[in-house]
Chains A and B, each alone.
Chain A
Amino acid sequence: MSKKLKSLTVNPCKMCMPMGAVHAFYGIARCMTLLHGSQGCSTYIRRHMATHYNEPVDIASSSMTEEGTVYGGEKNLIKGIHNLCRLYDPDVVGIATTCLSETIGEDIEGIIKKYHAQYPESRVRLIPVSSGGYMGTQFEGYFRTLRSILRHVDMKKEKHDRINIITGMLSPADVRTLKDILSLFPIAYILLPDASDNLDGGYEESYRRLPDNGTTLEEISLMAGSRLTIELSLFCPPEDSPGEYLKEAYGVPLVRLGPPVGLRDTDAFIKLLSEISGAPIPERLKGEQGRYLDAMIDSHKYNAEGRAVVFGDPDFVYSMVRLCCENGLLPVVSATGTSSPRLLELLHDEIGKIAPGLFDEEYAVLDKADFERIEELALEKKANLFIGSSDARRIEEKHGIPLVRCAFPIHDRVGGQRISTLGYSGSLNLLDSLTNTLLKIKEGNYRKALFETYFKDSKVEAPQACGVSATDLHPCFSCTGAHRYARIHLPVAPDCNIQCKYCVRKFDCPNESRPGVTSQVLTPEEALQRFLDAKKRLSNLTVVGIAGPGDALADFDKTRETLRLIREHDPNVIFCISTNGLALPQYADELVALGVSHVTITINAVDVEIASQIYSHVTMMGMRYSGMAGAAMLVSNQLLGLKLLASRGVTCKVNCVVLQGINDHHIETVVEKVKSLGAAITNIMQLIPVKGSAFEHLEMVSAKTINEIRKRCERILPQMYHCKQCRADAVGLLGEDQSLILYGKKEPVQEVPREKKGLRFAVATRSGILVDQHFGKVDEFLIYEYHDGRVAYIERRPIGQYCTGGMDACDSQEDKMTRILKALHDCEGVIALRIGVAPQRRLEEKGIHTYTTYDGIHEAIAKIAREMTGEEAV
């Protein structure tokens, strides 16, 4: 057994003995149950039964206290019986022990005697049952209680012509079906127990709080003289079996049958009734049998696609497995929480017979199961259907495997009291539910499944649940995805095979939020760990990206290994890589094989001459090529790579950096070209000028211009408007970089705003730690004050972005600038990563100085303020 936690029961597939005891007593007329133990036992059981049966469930408790636990609960129990009788006036009170009273060794029989001595006028019949929670499950508790009832009722031994019918925990509706079948034969019978009204009462004008239907004490007393007992349970342990007791104590012959569910077991029961009554099988039942047979044939091919997980009480599991098997629906996992080796044996016989015919020898049967193990097995055996109680609802929710609810307890649907599985009619009802659940899966998915399997001309998305395309889940490819789904960039590829003139690659500068920068380069194993950690924290993590910090394909061994490791742990996550495209023709096939479904290629030019102005050199097979030769090689490989990927169904995005005076008039040509080769979307971006790079002093194109270019290009290909130019190790939703939090740095200490005392600065920051935002991109400033050598945070000031960079471009730029000026009226300075010439001038006009830096906020302010005040550094 490969269960993850062997020493713990995880998500129990069983309940405790008192639960069974309460159910048994509920089928006795005018009976109340009193649980001798803590208040919680009765309350929990009431809550469980109330949601399932939608009936008031009143169960008393002796409400044991600390004192009772130490000195015995006799006093409390006697008082409890008395109070319960006062409130409900029952004929019978079932007294079931719990873990606590059983452990402290309460002598219930003795206490009952004392009760009668104390209240000699009381006519109530007190029936004890030993049902400590650890002594078995609800299954044994139920039968043990029935047996105890027989032992404690005064029996009449005179023989008569009736038969005893003893059932397991059936739903009220199934009990009614059973009585209906019995009524078709000339048989007088006593049914034990009968909760069909007590747990499924109708609405009546006056509510009666005492369950007054069910098997009466009078009827029970006659059971010793019956001519036969039919016990509809195969797995009740002999020492708990009520039928065995009647046989041993009173010589009543016993026949044990499985519950009459499914064709064979209903046939057997009906045949037996016909034999003992000497009457032929009624036409009505023959008709019902015929209809069930007809339904079996009608739906057999649908059922053959079923792979069921059956779980619950041994008798329930047995019945369901038999019903599945006779319909060709393979029970791939059959599990009971109770210990029952005999069940396992019978299940092997049953399933082993049909499994080979369904091309599948793989199935599991287990007892003492919990849902941790059931879940593991269900996934392993590729189950597509659960049959049992609502306890599998979490698995249904988590893995999308539908659950047919047909056993106690059901907490999340109505109608638990009307579950119908018994006889031909109940079996037919259940079979229809099973088949329809399978049909729903098929009808809901077949178009998509067939399209994805056979339609090769267009894109085939990565495997995904729930009919959402992979691209919708990718924040960098879809606007809806951008706000809901998270991605993680794993910095595993430090090397680069080309030199762009706008790039200086350094790894250790966490304040630059742009591609190619990362705090730390990871090994594939570390990358896997980071992915697993992030996944724990971000449930909406759908995308793993490799964006460098160099080029994902320049270090292909590392990229390949990283993707392979992650795929082993997560079959669904979307793989995305980002590359300059130089090595794409070489690795395109391998990328497809690895399951990479999204690739971003940065193509700044498709004209070799223009390209030669952007790239200093490229490195291929250990050789360095510069100028036109290098550019030609790069451009041709980029375009060929794009074509190869797109034709193999990979979604390709082309990034294009706009460089003033170099390629700004060439962008549309690029977009047209890449469209013809199969690109799905382009992302036209602004240059981020970097100190030390060849383009350090190249003037940035305005956001307005970028948006105009994007608008023009939108006529050719969809455009990405929400790009945030992420760091290579970014984690989370676009615009909410969590990497600083995830990887160990703290949020800043905040203080309450106060009156202005010193110099105030407005800081443009995204991280809240560093000055790391462009002035034009801010939608809020953090306001700090410098006073007496101390830098203090004052408050946040949201202002709405100066330039949204969105569809509405910068129409109202002027308004926003005015707003900013107003918002910053009390500031001596503005500190930003960068700032345009125009806003800088406007700020200076108002006497607000501007500073650009990459520094930490506190350090930057301290430095600037000291310069302003002429103070010495401390």
Chain B
Amino acid sequence: MKAQSLLLEERQGFIHQKGSCGSVSIQCDTESLSGAVSQRACVYCGARVVLNPITDAFHIVHGPIGCASYTWDIRGSLSSGAEWYRNSFSTDLSEQDVIFGGEKKLWEALSEVTRVHSPRVIFVYATCIVGVIGDDVRAVCKRAEEKFGIPVIPVMSPGFAGHKSVGYRMACNALMELLSRAPKAPKRGGSVNILGDFNLAGEMWIIKNYLEEMGVKVVARITGDATCEELMHAGEAALNVVQCAGSMTYLAKRMEEAMGIPWIKVSFFGIEDTSQSLIHIAQALGDREAEKKARELIARETRALEPVLCRSRELLGGKKAAIYVGGGFKAISLIKQFREIGMETVVVGTQTGRKEDYDIINSLVREGTVVLDDANPAELEYFIREKQADVLVGGVKERPLAYKLGVAFLDHNHERRHPLAGFVGVRNFVKELQLSVNSPVWQYVR
């Protein structure tokens, strides 16, 4: 099939092939095109992703059953304590509720939950129809908070109000509301909050271990394996370290305004990013000792990884990768990670990347690489074939497509069971790549 007949005119601006002049003018950060089969999710999804890892929170979805059913315990965020977040609570609105309003049901739900379980904090997600049927979720939450004496925080996340990024923002607003209830406390020197790691497969623990080895204290983990109590202390940290920039930069900015906490962006995907990030944290804290320890840690870990990477370069060098992930920062880290083992990225796309992200991406990839924003399966299929990618990195929905095309696949989603962050993540990353790319099955189907 020809690209021309396959690509919708209105999608042309979202697809860019890096040319010799190197400039980029890709359309992005807009609403998805109707009928184009976007891989994106909705506002509720974005909000839920960010808040869900708070382990002792009660996440109540106010709406019909679907939203709660499809988000029940599907993510790989781990907990060292409470398990409440692994439940899915829904007001399960019925046709009757849609006609007569769901406020009463929500109020009863909140009264009952506080009576039976004494939660530390409740997040109430307002889904698509809640506003349409006229429920005032904010008012119900406020009244519940006054009556039951625990934070009851509305998360305004109707699916249609934008794409996933808007949901991140709504979640950050909810977090700020929670933090605003914390009593003023003195700063703890040399300490940090980690923002935007969701403890998938224990990644928050891995990062925290590194920081502790450097002597840097972690005050609040936002939100992987977090507890409500821990979040309430977030204002005491000296520095905010932002891992998933797409979802949490907004929170970092708001915390800087409200609490005077400076922030830096970091990434723990790949050796280069992880190393730079650790040193950056130490320097941002003005902590020479931590910096020295970070350098020791990096030297030790890099040395240990060298044989693994050497072998990977032999086995994978020259292979071509296609990337389709949620956010721009993850895509950027992946391009660098592929480069570390001599692989070239031939297709790269994101669901919610921004202009700045695409500028960086364009500067990292070679001429001819296809850059896509909010791609659909047809486009992915076309470019994976055209660019003869050997492996696709993506999420659950993209996996079967890669397999049908006879292409290897690397899971970089929220459901994975193995860490990809930190130095250990590099090991897992190249291992998974090797196991898939060099699997014997391909010789029978290609």
Contact = CB atoms under 8 A, between A and B. Distances in A.
Given A10-B87, A134-B97, A207-B405, A87 B37 contact: yes
Interface string A71-90: 00000110111111011100
B104 to A, nearest CB: 9
Interface stretch (A53-61, A288-296, A470-478): A53-61
A65 B92 contact: no
A757 interface: no
B260 interface: no
A104 interface: yes
Contacts of A79: 33-35
Interface string B71-106: 111100000111000111111111101100000010
Contact of B400 (A9, A56, A87): A56
B128 interface: yes
Contact of A8 (B69, B113, B289): B113
Contact of B396 (A50, A99, A751): A50
Given A54-B400, A62-B34, A41 B159 contact: yes
Contact of B94 (A53, A62, A82, A134): A134
A782 to B, nearest CB: 13
B190 interface: yes
Contacts of A87: 6, 8, 35-37, 376, 378
A69 to B, nearest CB: 5
B169 to A, nearest CB: 14
8 contacts: A7-B108, A15-B66, A40-B44, A44-B41, A62-B34, A63-B32, A103-B133, A134-B93
B65 A8 contact: no
A5 B113 contact: yes
A100 B189 contact: no
Contacts of B376: 87
A825 interface: no
A537 B289 CA distance: 33
Contacts of B163: 39
Nearest to A87: B378
Interface of A: 4-12, 14-16, 18-19, 34, 37-48, 50-51, 53-66, 68-69, 76-77, 79-84, 86-88, 98-100, 103-104, 132-135, 137, 201, 203, 207, 209, 372, 391, 394, 411, 536-539, 749-753, 795-796
A758 B63 CA distance: 63
Contact of A751 (B67, B189, B400): B189
Contacts of A55: 400, 404
Most buried by A among B34, B94, B97, B108: B34
Contact of A536 (B8, B82, B89, B129): B82
B419 to A, nearest CB: 19
A44 B69 CA distance: 10
A58 B159 CA distance: 19
Nearest to A76: B34
Given A56-B400, A99-B128, A103-B132, A63 B38 contact: yes
Given A44-B41, A63-B34, A83 B8 contact: yes
A750 B36 contact: no
B161 interface: yes
> Which among A58, A98, A133 has the greatest number of chain B C-beta atoms within 10 A?
A133
A217 B82 CA distance: 53
A123 to B, nearest CB: 17
A12 B68 contact: yes
Contacts of A201: 404
Contact of B89 (A10, A45, A80, A88): A10
A614 B192 CA distance: 53
A538 B116 CA distance: 21
Most buried by A among B113, B159, B381: B159
Query: Looking at chain B's contact residues, is the secondary structure mostly helix, strand, loop, or mixed?
Result: loop
Contacts of B191: 750
Contact of B116 (A4, A46, A537, A751): A4
A83 B36 contact: yes
B354 interface: no
Contacts of B387: none
A7 B73 contact: no
Contacts of B65: 9, 12, 14-16, 133-134, 137
Q: Which of A44, A48, A751 has the most CB of B within 10 A?
A: A44
B183 interface: no
B81 A536 contact: yes
Contacts of B90: 8-10, 12
A7 B324 CA distance: 41
B150 to A, nearest CB: 15
B413 to A, nearest CB: 9
A98 B66 CA distance: 10
A30 B101 CA distance: 40
B35 A82 contact: yes
Q: Which of A4, A99, A209 has the most CB of B within 10 A?
A: A99
B109 A750 contact: no
Nearest to B104: A7
Contacts of A100: 128-129, 132, 159-160
A10 B400 CA distance: 31
A380 B401 CA distance: 44
A7 B35 contact: no
Interface string B35-66: 11111111111000000000000001001111
Contact of B64 (A57, A64, A65, A132): A132
A34 B35 contact: yes
B290 to A, nearest CB: 9
Given A5-B112, A750-B189, A15 B70 contact: yes
A17 B105 CA distance: 21
A58 B377 contact: yes
Contacts of A66: 160-162
B342 interface: no
Nearest to B40: A39
A14 B44 CA distance: 19
Given A63-B32, A76-B34, A753 B42 contact: no
B287 interface: yes
B285 interface: yes
Contact of A7 (B41, B105, B399, B445): B105
Contacts of B60: 8
Contacts of B406: 203
Nearest to B86: A394
A138 B189 CA distance: 54
Given A87-B6, A99-B63, 20 more contacts: A4-B116, A5-B112, A7-B91, A9-B65, A11-B72, A15-B69, A16-B64, A51-B396, A53-B400, A56-B397, A59-B37, A63-B36, A69-B132, A80-B34, A83-B35, A83-B36, A103-B132, A203-B404, A539-B81, A753-B289
Interface in B250-280: none
A50 B397 contact: yes
A63 B6 CA distance: 20
A38 B70 CA distance: 14
A790 B125 CA distance: 49
B116 A81 contact: no
B82 A135 contact: no
Nearest to B11: A83
Contacts of A18: 66
B339 interface: no
B188 interface: yes
A44 B285 contact: no
Contacts of B44: 38, 40
A8 B63 contact: no
Nearest to A73: B34
B186 interface: yes
Contacts of A59: 37
Contact of B286 (A34, A82, A752): A752
B87 to A, nearest CB: 6
Contacts of B91: 7-9
Nearest to B376: A87
Contact of B160 (A19, A34, A68): A68
Interface string B1-17: 00000101010000000
A207 B407 CA distance: 12
